[in-house]
């Protein structure tokens, strides 16, 4: 599946200390505007992270594997432009990020 978005930004998790990775990834996702994509590169398949992203953002953030190898995994995460969060709901992000500010 290819995600059609306006801009793509690289996030190479291999350079982030493991204890900070999930927090950094959530911060990066919440910085994206609707219609933008984060190209995520990692040294392993982040299945627990994908579950957390689905639980936290629901259908607002979609993902598609670009590469799924034994030494490198590349995933595109996209903020869906046509979906707005329900009033009072959201991911806890703010600003113009993934649209989860609830305002």
* Separation CA 26–CA 79 (nearest Å): 12
CB 91 within 8 A of CB 82: no
Average pLDDT over residues 56-82: 93
For residue 93, pLDDT over 70 is answered with no
For residue 98, pLDDT over 80 is answered with no
CB 3 within 8 A of CB 37: yes
pLDDT in tens, 7-50: 899 999 999 999 999 999 999 999 999 989 999 999 999 999 99
Average pLDDT over residues 70-86: 81
Query: Tokens in use for 24?
Result: 């950094």
């Amino acid at each position: 599946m290819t995600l059609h978005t306006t801009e793509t930004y690289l996030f190479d998790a291999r350079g982030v200390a493991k204890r900070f990775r999930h927090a950094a990834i959530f911060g990066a996702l919440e910085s994206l505007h609707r219609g933008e994509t984060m190209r995520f590169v990692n040294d392993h398949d982040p299945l627990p992270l994908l579950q957390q992203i689905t639980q936290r953002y629901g259908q607002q953030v979609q993902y598609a594997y670009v590469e799924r190898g034994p030494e490198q995994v590349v995933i595109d995460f996209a903020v869906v432009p046509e979906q707005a969060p329900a009033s009072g709901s959201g991911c806890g992000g703010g600003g113009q990020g993934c649209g989860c500010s609830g305002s």
